[in-house]
A and B are shown apart, each in its own frame.
Chain A
Amino acid sequence: MRASASAGKVNRTYLALPKTAAALTDARLFQEHGIGLFTYDQRNIEEALPARYFETAAAAPREVEDPEVSQLEKEVQQLRAEFAALEEAVRDLKEELVSSKTPATLEEGVQTYMPERSRTGLRVIDKLPAYLVGNPWVEVLSRRGRGESAIVS
């Protein structure tokens, strides 16, 4: 039964039987399924019935077992997964950027309503220490002071 299941999936299927068993088994049964028969005894082994050659079975494994194609398919799948992950990361970064920009514009709006008096009170320092140059906290802290003075006044 197992041999008949493999017949058609491979090029040729053979059964090997001892001669004593082959004398009791009608080889027509094997021939109907395209299975070949080998018989053996203590002296020799011989092909009692040639197996049928299955053409269709030869093409199928070649398609599946091509290592280059399977390797390329794997690589394409990996690239697709990486691309999807990158797209998601970019989307998240965009959202973060938009949300971080929104409070800054509001603060700028508040600045326009600040009194002239407090602005003029600011001194411009020409030479700042290196750790203050380009430090965003300087701007934030300076605004905080102005805001508090505005509330007090």
Chain B
Amino acid sequence: MAGGNLRLLAENSAAFVRVPIRSIQMVVDLEDPLAPELTLEDFVEAHGTGPTAPRHRILNVEVLTCPEDQQPILASECGHCPRFVRRFDNMAYFRRENPVSAGSR
């Protein structure tokens, strides 16, 4: 029943665009401001060891491609977009048309 409901959702129609959200874990060095921010995998590869607690912090950065201008954006920025509908299962759902411009037509 729930699966049936999902299939009938408006997001699966042509009126919506689905954009995958990518989560990237970044390591930040708090003591050395000149140290480059690396992904966790790259950090382990470069240093041969994992990040240590007081000096390094791991940040989870969620990015996606903005359907408006095809530029990379943070997932948190989607909340300011009038086309954004919801985030579901690491996918961002947007309206194909901007409701503000469609309403002004």
Contact = CB atoms under 8 A, between A and B. Distances in A.
A17 to B, nearest CB: 9
Contact of B80 (A20, A31, A48, A52): A20
A25 B87 contact: yes
29 contacts: A18-B79, A19-B84, A21-B79, A22-B79, A22-B84, A22-B87, A23-B76, A23-B79, A23-B87, A24-B79, A25-B87, A26-B87, A26-B88, A26-B90, A27-B87, A28-B88, A28-B89, A39-B85, A39-B86, A41-B80, A41-B82, A43-B100, A46-B85, A48-B85, A48-B86, A49-B86, A49-B88, A50-B5, A50-B9
B84 A23 contact: yes
Interface string A29-73: 001000001010101101011101000000000000000000000
Contacts of B75: 23-24
Contacts of B41: none
B27 interface: no
Interface of A: 18-28, 31, 37, 39, 41, 43-44, 46, 48-50, 52
B86 to A, nearest CB: 4
A118 to B, nearest CB: 103
B15 interface: no
A39 B81 CA distance: 12
